């Protein structure tokens, strides 16, 4: 305890680390040395991993790419293959959103209520036509 106070008073290198943290570091360094870990290689691996994580977090498309795509899309929007591809994309998006919504019990109950209302209105309309 007194040693901690002395270390804090003279503010030795290892700033911000308690003596226990420093001792933990020395123990781990000792274990790594026994296992043959070369610390500079380990630090390079950490830097590489951090770089890869940053790359993964970067947006896939820049604003310029989005603008360019928008211009290209407008130029070929009437092309039959583009129309078909966009329709398939929209259909799949609708399917996914519907699946996600149906997983919610409140939405599912309201959807069932809507279907019941549509069915009742349809039957009612057909009955009125048949009586005329």
User: pTM, whole model, 2 decimals?
Assistant: 0.44
* Average pLDDT value for the chain: 86
Is 80 exceeded by the pLDDT of residue 106?
Answer: yes
pLDDT at site 6? 59
Q: By mean pLDDT, which of 2-16, 38-52, 68-82, 100-114 is the weakest?
A: 2-16
Region 42-65: mean pLDDT is: 82
* Contact yes or no for 19/4 (Cβ under 8 A): yes
Report pLDDT for 14.
52
Instruction: Parse the chain into domains and list their residue ranges.
Output: 2-57, 63-131
């Amino acid at each position: 305890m007194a040693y901690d106070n002395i270390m804090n008073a003279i503010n030795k290198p290892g700033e911000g680390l308690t003596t226990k943290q420093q001792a933990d570091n020395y123990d781990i360094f000792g274990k790594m040395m026994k296992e043959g870990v070369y610390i500079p290689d380990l630090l390079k691996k950490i830097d590489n991993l951090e770089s890869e994580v940053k790359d993964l977090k970067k947006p896939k498309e820049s604003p310029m790419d989005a603008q360019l795509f928008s211009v290209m899309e407008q130029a070929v929007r009437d092309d039959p293959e583009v129309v078909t591809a966009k329709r398939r994309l929209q259909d799949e998006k609708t399917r996914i959103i519907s699946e996600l919504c149906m997983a919610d019990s409140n939405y599912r109950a309201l959807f069932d209520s809507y279907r019941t209302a549509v069915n009742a209105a349809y039957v009612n309309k057909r009955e009125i036509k048949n009586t005329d």
